[in-house]
Homo-oligomer: A and B are copies of this chain.
Amino acid sequence: MTLRPALFALALVLPLGTACATSPPQKALTMQDVLDASTPADWRTLDPAQTLYLELASGRVVIELAPQFAPAHVDNIRTLVRAGYFDGLSINRSQDNFVVQWGDANGEDPAKARPLGEAKAKLPAEFVRPAEGLAFTVLPDADGWAPEVGFVQGFPAARDPKAGIAWLAHCYGTVGAGRAMAADSSNGTELYVVTGQSPRQLDRNITTVGRVVQGIEHLSVLPRGTGPLGFYEQAGQRVPIRAIRLAADVPEAERSALQVMRTDTRAFADLVESRRNRRDDWYVH
């Protein structure tokens, strides 16, 4: 069992919350207390059919897909991945305190662009989805960007009960599908990961497709591009992608054995509380 993804998942959400406790918890647990007391039932194994491995020279980035939020995009990305579309392409953009992005550097040149094969060139925008049917763990604190924020099956998410919609929140590690000016101009061939302060202004403006659960440090340390929007100006600065593979297509022995903490449990509620108001001895306030 690896604790790291759980810590990371937590880091994704707390910036959305606040520190104004309304009532004291029954007992003041630290995060470590909560993790130590967790049981196997508090954890889940990633679904290999919904897990991508982005393989770089520096290591593997593990991405959990969110078909419940972007079914058409996730389906298309899986089709692209299984056809080896991304293998040998590159990371083309690293903008400080914002995102790292990869895809086909020649994608806009019809003569040079890599063919999409069985994948679709055109998809509907999937910015939001109906809130109904989602098990949503609401965080107790106010958020500036949405009426409610919390978690859906591990993913940091937001919800507008009045409008009856939900969406993935742009947090550290959130993965989205880059688009041009048209709302429906993304198809999953251009993907980005948030590597800075939660850019929540992107929420409901772009299709989010998943989140990084391990290895984001292979992306967050990449040299920042000096061109507009952090694109690399020289082809030689781009970072080669060895391959993107679906975990299900990787021999079991080569898979990353990861469990992540469930976000619909009492243990997770305790974990959130331990992070809303820190109980560790170091903290004065």
List residues of A whose CB falls within 8 A of some B CB: 11, 14-15, 17-20, 96-97, 127, 141-145, 171-172, 181, 183, 196-198, 200-201, 203-205, 216-217, 220-224, 275, 278, 281-285
Contacts and interface: CB of A to CB of B under 8 A. Distances in A.
Contacts of A203: 285
Nearest to A19: B145
Contact of A97 (B96, B220, B224): B220
B145 A18 contact: yes
A172 B144 contact: no
Given A11-B197, A143-B144, A144-B143, A220 B96 contact: yes
A15 B221 CA distance: 22
A169 to B, nearest CB: 12
Nearest to A18: B144
A190 to B, nearest CB: 14
Number of this chain's copies in the complex: 2
A281 B197 contact: no
24 contacts: A11-B97, A14-B201, A18-B143, A18-B144, A19-B144, A97-B216, A127-B284, A141-B144, A142-B142, A143-B144, A183-B284, A196-B196, A197-B197, A197-B198, A201-B275, A201-B278, A203-B285, A204-B284, A204-B285, A205-B282, A205-B284, A217-B223, A220-B220, A221-B221
A150 to B, nearest CB: 14
Decide if the interface of chain A is mainly helix, strand, loop or mixed.
loop
A57 to B, nearest CB: 14
A106 B224 CA distance: 31
A275 B224 CA distance: 23
A172 B172 CA distance: 13
A284 B179 CA distance: 12
A242 to B, nearest CB: 19
A91 B141 CA distance: 36
Contacts of A145: 18-20
B283 A198 contact: no
Given A141-B144, A144-B19, A197-B172, A283 B220 contact: no
A15 B281 contact: no
A228 to B, nearest CB: 12
Contacts of A197: 11, 15, 171-172, 196-198
Residue among A15, A17, A142, A204 with max Cβ neighbours from chain B (10 Å): A15
